[in-house]
Chains A and B, each alone.
Chain A
């Protein structure tokens, strides 16, 4: 298993454009999470999927943000009409190993978004 992967690693876009990020979780994990991390801060929770169902969304996730996990495997996070304040690192994590009582989340390398 190669761990959680995210694409692209970097994205530069102009304000007002739409962007989409992809996350491929660890294959046997049924839970998937999106976080946002700004410079000098810890990651902040955005949303959570169990299989294909989106079970929780943070208030940080405005109407311009949408996340999907259509087949319970990979997930996409789309930001519409990007704003400069959206510039951040977007992290994906997965969890759900059968023997993991702590439900440890394993993180991908992140997608760094810069909105000009």
Chain B
């Protein structure tokens, strides 16, 4: 079945640092990759998504490009803020259920 592997955390960065969280997957068919974010005490929020190969999803300064050749959907942000501290989940959807990675906790220090 489909599976998602993402970078283990926690990741600790200083404000304005560059962020990369790696995500790779194995899948059959034509899945759609997503990134969700979970802020402390809150539910999952959709951060960005892609629907076809080479699509770039972007939102709130975060970007991820759907690379079919490397089966990856790495999350990047050029300059993180303290308010970006959260848990980030890479996910694979497009069928009746979404498969989630284990999550990567990000701490951003002022």
Contact = CB atoms under 8 A, between A and B. Distances in A.
A107 B43 contact: yes
Contacts of A103: 32, 93-94
Interface in B77-109: 89, 91, 93-94, 96-103
Interface of B: 4, 32, 34, 36, 42-46, 49-51, 89, 91, 93-94, 96-103
Contact of A41 (B42, B45, B46, B102): B102
Contacts of A110: 43
Interface of A: 31, 33, 40-45, 48, 50, 55-56, 91, 93, 101-110
Nearest 6 A/B pairs, CB to CB: A42-B100, A102-B32, A109-B43, A45-B97, A107-B44, A102-B51
A55 B34 CA distance: 23
A3 to B, nearest CB: 9
Given A41-B102, A104-B34, A106-B46, A55 B93 contact: no
